[in-house]
Structure 1
Amino acid sequence: MESIQQFNDSIVDELKQAYDEKFRPFEESFLYKDFPYATPPDDAFFRAKPMILLIGQYSSGKSTFVKYLIDKDYPGIRIGPEPTTDKFVAVMYGEENAIIPGNALVIDDRKRFKPLMKFGGNFLNRFQAAQVNSTVLKGITIIDTPGILSDSNNSAGYDYEGVIEWFAQQSDRIFLFVDAHKLELSGTFQKIIEMIRKYDDKLRIVLNKTDLVTEQEMIRIFGALMWFLGQSLEMKEVIQIFVGSFWGKPFFDEKRRKLYEHEEFRIYEDLSNLPQESLLRKMNALVQRTRQVSMHACLIWYGMFLLFLHTDWIFSFFKYSMFKDNIRRTSILRFIFDKQIKKIYLRKLHKIRAKIEKQYDFTRDESPDLRQMKQALMTINLNRRKTFNKKLFAAKDVFINEDLPAIIDRYHFLKLIILIKIFLKIYKINRINNGKFPKMIFESNNDGTPFGFAKGE
């Protein structure tokens, strides 16, 4: 495990160094960070642990699941049949148990929560971190959320759905909890599911508290859940569903022990892949960012071209040839006509975007939000942009065409070497044990398994 962590850290260091040296200067030259849709990757982005988001109705077992994973209570946890968790809680590692208020979290550059400042003070008062000295949390961060109340307003004075969507976008895994005893799949719960369906590659469903229902009831509940997910998510691929009672206590129905133990194993197996998935997601996010920044740069470059074109026309109109060079140096005339020229540019922005997308094969997802871009351009002085610099463009091309592919290839190569070392270590241990694997807890057994589980079906 230590070698895998070292491997991940080395890839992250290489990725961050290449970005800072070759691509960030290109971004800054086109004022990308001055636009509201731009969130520059900081050190917290590269160093962040995989994040797990827990969503579900109230009393569906989210907080209990956190306790089940880390094998202890976290500071401020409240568990009960009524709505108990009324805050967003980031459960993370700390040497000593402590609670950190949301207002302190968002100004900490070492954490990844700074963008949450945009949701305002009402949200920050309902956001906190719970630090726990747990080995599990050395590798992950868990986000426990307030339970969703059906057909009611969860916002409490802030954009609840916007907060959920931000966490869903940033998370590496999303667990959607459904209580087998109250299958109320409507109202606000359905809106949340429809909102996060674009992250279905990270989504997992947990059908919780099933050990107290009969087998016939479980079949009906499972069928109703699948029908609802098919309608709400418009699933193109099968989403993983975990069935069980994840609370760390003895099972009520011993006949289903094998099923529940196997489901526990599936969850741990799924979570064990998160470090590698998180690293791949960061690399993929940087690849997408290069496309988005390039599209932004094309739009800004066209605006600068239009600005200079109209300025030159105005100079030639007044025929002040001697005065022309002085004005060009001081940019006085550009300042006078800047607003009018921007209005011409903004009116044409949709057509300009369509032309650039067609010419350079950009997709609409890679295009910036034009409404936000127009608002920002009315206040941003484009004359602050640095002049054309061939070195910046060359460094950008090296980062996109050489550095990123080389880092991705190195990632796959080193991952293969580590997997081979792990296999050889297991093989060596098993040879010492006369070539036999120790008996597994999830060994197939036909006795007492419901639904024909582990019978080769």
Structure 2
Amino acid sequence: MVREGRSLEVTPTWSVATVTTVMVFNGPDERSIPGNTIVVQADMPYSGLTTFGSAFLSKFECSQMPHPLLEHITFVDTPGVLSGEKQRTQRSYDFTGVTSWFAAKCDLILLLFDPHKLDISDEFKRVIGSLRGHDDKIRVVLNKADQVDTQQLMRVYGALMWSLGKVLNTPEVNRVYISSFNDKPINEAAAGPLGKDLFEKEQDDLLSDLKDIPKKACDCRINEFVKRARAAKIHAFIISHLKKEMPAMMGKAKTQQRLIDNLADEFAKSSEGTASTSWRFSERRAV
């Protein structure tokens, strides 16, 4: 699948960075659809993106093309994560909010790293934080692994796992794919014969995960429905508790402010004495 149409810019540090969120999906012909157009199409489920304003929609593009793989899968390529001062000066929209919106609706999330850029910036931490609640969808990809030799790759892998361990905050180990995912042959001079065999197997595993997405689509929809139902139930318990705490006549403003200032304690109180065992109040952080 090769097609031109991605917007690139050369930053002051002479690194090429993607500045547009690109969605690739199947269609009868090859064409690009601007973000402002796609969000108003009734047959497309992207009207919710209008909440992020024209600043985002001008940086959002849909690329339509005929391809067998795209008949069952839609890809969304987000811009590269910025570091340093660029985090504040070059984002004109809520990037973390956009990421969270797509994460709630997708089936698989790929976090891409390369051996020469393992640092996790503040913006990347916020992005990963916005994925909380979707840990089962996250996969980590160490790309361009054939640019370093075996000894360096071991060090890079260890450094990556250490960095991820500080920001993912999950007891489970995330799946990490190690390979070079491009249209060029693997650099066997650096990787060696064992590395080449490993990279090819990792590529096959990732492709297998992608091919399994349509097969698991029904289960994923049910899973998302259960998540939303549980969140709605938690919300109902909280609202019911807060309503009971409010006075009938006088002192409403002071009581309301007190409840707001002590929400964490009120959350805990609202879970006490409930007969329901079908939900875990520990998930209140997602509300």
TM bucket, shorter chain = 0.7 to 0.9
One-letter code aligned to 1:103: N
Q: Select which of 141, 153, 157 maps to 1:206.
A: 141
One-letter code aligned to 1:73: R
Q: Determine the C-alpha separation between the residues in 2 that align with 1:366 and 1:301.
A: 15
Q: Determine the C-alpha separation between the residues in 2 that align with 1:196 and 1:301.
A: 28
Distance 1:355-1:293 versus aligned 2 partners, 3 A rule: same
Equivalent pairs, count: 270
Distance 1:299-1:78 versus aligned 2 partners, 3 A rule: closer
| Deviation at residue 260 of structure 1 after TM alignment | 1.7
| Deviation at residue 132 of structure 1 after TM alignment | 1.2
Instruction: List runs of 5+ in structure 1 lacking aligned partners.
Output: 1-70, 311-336, 370-457
**Equivalence for 1:232:** 167
| TM-score between the two structures when normalised by the length of structure 1 | 0.51
- 1:163 corresponds to 2:102: no
Conservation of the 8 A alpha-carbon contact between 1:123 and 1:158: yes
Distance 1:364-1:110 versus aligned 2 partners, 3 A rule: farther
> Comparing both structures, which one devotes a greater share of its residues to helix?
1
**Equivalence for 2:48:** 115
**Equivalence for 2:22:** 89
**Equivalence for 2:217:** 278
Q: Select which of 42, 55, 66 maps to 1:133.
A: 66
Tell me, what secondary structure is at the counterpart of 1:229? helix
One-letter code aligned to 2:83: S
**Equivalence for 1:269:** 208
Conservation of the 8 A alpha-carbon contact between 1:207 and 1:243: yes
Q: Determine the C-alpha separation between the residues in 2 that align with 1:343 and 1:303.
A: 13
**Equivalence for 1:98:** 31
**Equivalence for 2:57:** 124
**Equivalence for 1:30:** none
- 1:287 corresponds to 2:226: yes
Q: Determine the C-alpha separation between the residues in 2 that align with 1:78 and 1:246.
A: 19
One-letter code aligned to 2:3: D
> Comparing both structures, which one devotes a greater share of its residues to strand?
2
Q: Determine the C-alpha separation between the residues in 2 that align with 1:87 and 1:129.
A: 10
Tell me, what secondary structure is at the counterpart of 1:275? coil
Q: Deviations over 1:433-453 (max 9, x none)?
A: xxxxxxxxxxxxxxxxxxxxx
Q: Determine the C-alpha separation between the residues in 1 that align with 2:225 and 2:143.
A: 36
Query: What is the root-mean-square deviation in Å for CA atoms of aligned residues?
Result: 3.5
Tell me, what secondary structure is at the counterpart of 2:87? coil
| TM-score between the two structures when normalised by the length of structure 2 | 0.78
Q: Determine the C-alpha separation between the residues in 2 that align with 1:97 and 1:295.
A: 45
One-letter code aligned to 1:153: Q
Q: Deviations over 1:224-273 (max 9, x none)?
A: 11111122223411211111111121222162332221111101111122
Q: Determine the C-alpha separation between the residues in 2 that align with 1:304 and 1:190.
A: 36
Conservation of the 8 A alpha-carbon contact between 2:32 and 2:63: yes
Larger radius of gyration: 1
Q: Determine the C-alpha separation between the residues in 1 that align with 2:283 and 2:95.
A: 24
Q: Determine the C-alpha separation between the residues in 1 that align with 2:7 and 2:69.
A: 17
Tell me, what secondary structure is at the counterpart of 1:205? strand
Bigger relative CO (Cα 8 Å, ≥ 6 apart): 1
- Mapping for residues 325-336 of structure 1, pairs under 5 Å: none
| Deviation at residue 108 of structure 1 after TM alignment | 2.2
Q: Select which of 98, 121, 131 maps to 1:196.
A: 131
| Deviation at residue 107 of structure 1 after TM alignment | 1.9
Tell me, what secondary structure is at the counterpart of 2:18? coil
Q: Determine the C-alpha separation between the residues in 2 that align with 1:367 and 1:357.
A: 17
Q: Determine the C-alpha separation between the residues in 1 that align with 2:272 and 2:285.
A: 8
**Equivalence for 1:11:** none
**Equivalence for 1:389:** none
- 1:217 corresponds to 2:156: no
Tell me, what secondary structure is at the counterpart of 1:181? coil
| Deviation at residue 295 of structure 1 after TM alignment | 5.2
